[in-house]
Amino acid sequence: MSGGYLHDALARVAASDRLLVALDFDGTLAPLEDDPMSARALPEAAAAVAALAELADTPVAFVSGRSLHDLREIAEHGDDSPVYLAGSHGAEFWVPGEGQVATGGDAAADALRDVLREELTSRLADLDGVWVEPKTYGFGIHTRVASAADAATARDAADRLVAERAPHWRRRTGHNIVEYSFRHEGKDSAIAALRERLGATAVLFAGDDVTDEDALASLGDADLGIRVGDGQTAASVRVGSIQELADALSALARMRASSRQ
């Protein structure tokens, strides 16, 4: 992607009346880690987010597949943060000044989640490098440090169990993870909900994985989608790394500040 094209795309959305900057976290702002809970935003990315969040009419949100609790931990997100959160692919929200948005519970679904998660954890216990991550509405199977054979065995076991016991659950794949959830929201619905809540006239969304493509494909002509790294994408702009995205967000903050003067 040429620097000139990226500059022009950023300048276009920088001139929007009310710009929502929505960002995936893992692989977009933070490097992927063998221990997922050790992920932290690149300092330059965190600085760019902070600069954008200080600007008028420029709400910032993290939109992640992480459960809200885990997203808050890795994002070092305090109760006084100005950053909106959409966790669990848009099934959970946190609003500045209000906190977590209440959602209706489903005791039966929660119980099935716990049973399946415990059973799968037991079945996969002998596979080196495979980890079952508890999630609010399901679980994820991490295979980043597993052998290819063990990763395939883990995925197959999880697929069979969910197909047999919870065929209505949604399955997603990502970087060395497969996720299962009894909630079907996606990052596209998260962006739609945030756009409506915040009255955004344009949205910039950046992501690096298959699970971000729902959101990228949902963007309109006034918006800007950025894909970080390789892979097929609906985004109109691609950057090669987290550092390049951090640089782009910093440039956007400068443009946006100038346009608001």
**What type of residue is 93?**
F
| Integer CA distances (angstroms), 161 to 102, 118, 132, 155, in order | 30, 12, 14, 10
Q: Please tell me the distance from the alpha carbon of residue 35 to that of residue 38, in angstroms, as a whole number.
A: 6
Residues 154, 168, 100, CA angle at the centre, nearest 5°? Answer: 90
189-193 mean pLDDT: 97
160-175 mean pLDDT: 95
1 pLDDT more than 60: no
Q: Which residues pair with 100 in a beta bridge?
A: 94
| Integer CA distances (angstroms), 204 to 24, 108, 216, in order | 11, 37, 9
pLDDT at residue 99 in the model: 96
Half-sphere exposure of 136 (CA within 13 A, CB side): 23
Q: At a CB cut-off of 8 Å and minimum separation 6, what does 43 contact? A: none
Q: Please tell me the distance from the alpha carbon of residue 61 to that of residue 42, in angstroms, as a whole number.
A: 16
pLDDT tens digits, 45-103:
999 999 999 999 999 999 999 999 999 999 999 999 999 999 999 999 999 999 999 88
pLDDT at residue 261 in the model: 61
Q: Where are the beta strands (DSSP E) in 48-101?
A: 60-63, 84-87, 92-95, 99-100
pLDDT at residue 5 in the model: 87
Model confidence at 260, pLDDT cuts 50, 70, 90, reads low
Q: Report CA dihedral (48, 49, 52, 53) to the nearest 10 degrees.
A: -150
Choose among 235, 183, 186, 181: nearest CA to 207: 235
259 pLDDT more than 90: no
Write the DSSP assignment of 109-157 as a string of letters: HHHHHHHHHHHHHHHTTTSTT-EEEEETTEEEEE-TTS-HHHHHHHHHH
pLDDT at residue 255 in the model: 96
143 pLDDT more than 70: yes
pLDDT tens digits, 13-56:
999 999 999 999 999 999 999 888 999 999 999 999 999 999 99
Q: Which residue has the tokens 């929660």?
A: 110
DSSP 8-state assignment for residue 30: B
Question: Percentage of the chain surpassing pLDDT 90?
Answer: 93
4 pLDDT more than 80: no
Higher-confidence residue of 148 and 102: namely 148
